[in-house]
Amino acid sequence: MSGLFLTLEGIDGAGKSSHIDALAVLFKAQGRNVTRTREPGGTPLAETLRGLILEQPMDALTESLLVFAARRDHVLKVIEPALARGDVVLCDRFTDATFAYQGAGRGFDMNVLSALERWVQGGRGIGTESAEPASPTAASDSLLQPDITLWFDLLPAIAAERLAGARVPDKFESQPVEFFRRVAAGYAERAAGAERFVRIDASQARDQVWQQIEAALFDRGLIAKGTGESL
Ligand code: TYD
């Protein structure tokens, strides 16, 4: 069985993480092995970098380099091996978040992000510790990309209300709503350019959001049937 790379994306407060448990249960019920992971993070090194990225102030290039360094370790050690085994990889955020947060949110150069994406996700040799990174001029169709991306779309003002008082905010969560408007626009732009995106209306109640997820997976032939309910 071939692997399936599924990512969840959206602005902070959109509610994506609350559906990962149910997704894991759903795919296991279909007889699939599931690898659950997240970015930044997913390996000991990448989790260490996550702490720096989420807590330390830094310029946007430094932040982008750290995010992609964490991703490289994660891709080599977790994502590629899991896909090679035929697992369903459920990943809470991936490179779309970099284009949305560092690119659209912080206004960092998207061309530099695209070049880093090609270095880190470029096809040849990925999966072996000794592999050289692919050339940044490698064809974009050889990039490791998610097979399907669930994009939790929610108005930034509503997301901010949901986040308020929930916990101590990290560096990104404490950004003003204007920052999240740019991030949301960045996601919308990414989603318009790739068929792998499924827009989930995250303003709905949690059960209805789950129903949208199940319907999208069913429509794409990724599950045979749903469980009918969330966890
Ligand atoms: P998030 O995924 O929301 O985790 P939690 O639910 O534990 O807060 O937090 C990760 C944060 O990192 C989020 O604010 C988005 C940010 N981020 C980037 O800025 N760039 C990236 O490339 C990634 C993967 C995340």
Per-residue pLDDT at 135: 55
**Atom number in ligand 1 closest to CA 39:** 24
Average pLDDT over residues 22-36: 97
Per-residue pLDDT at 87: 98
Enumerate residues 6+ apart whose C-beta is below 8 A from 98: 64, 67, 68, 71, 113, 117
Q: Tell whether pTM > 0.85.
A: yes
Average pLDDT over residues 135-152: 80
CB of 162 closer than 8 Å to CB of 15 = yes
Min mean pLDDT across 85-89, 124-128, 195-199 is at: 124-128
Enumerate residues 6+ apart whose C-beta is below 8 A from 225: 218
Residue with tokens 């080599």: 76
Q: What is the pLDDT of residues 114-137, one digit of tens each?
A: 999 999 999 654 445 555 555 555
Per-residue pLDDT at 125: 47
34-38 β-sheet, strand order = 34-38, 88-92, 4-10, 148-153, 197-201
Q: How far apart are the CA of 225 and the centre of ligand 1, in A?
A: 31
CA distance 111 to 165: 37
Measure the N-to-C terminal CA separation of the chain; round to a whole number of Å.
26
Q: What is the pLDDT of residues 205-219, one digit of tens each?
A: 999 999 999 999 999
Per-residue pLDDT at 166: 75
CA distance 231 to 35: 18
Q: In a 3-state reduction of DSSP, which class is residue 47?
A: helix
Q: How far apart are the CA of 140 and the centre of ligand 1, in A?
A: 24
Q: How far apart are the CA of 14 and the centre of ligand 1, in A?
A: 12
**Residue having the nearest C-alpha atom to atom 6 of ligand 1:** 17
Q: How far apart are the CA of 65 and the centre of ligand 1, in A?
A: 15
Average pLDDT over residues 133-159: 82
Contacts made by residues 188-197, CB under 8 angstroms, sequence distance 24+: 188/153, 189/104, 190/96, 190/99, 190/100, 191/149, 191/151, 194/145, 194/149, 196/145, 196/146, 196/147, 196/148, 196/149, 197/149, 197/151
Ligand 1 pocket, residue 146 CB under 6 Å: no
Which CATH code for domain 4-219?
3.40.50.300
CA distance 8 to 153: 11
Nearest to 47 by CA among 64, 20, 71: 71
Min mean pLDDT across 54-68, 78-92, 158-172, 205-219 is at: 158-172
CB of 101 closer than 8 Å to CB of 53 = no
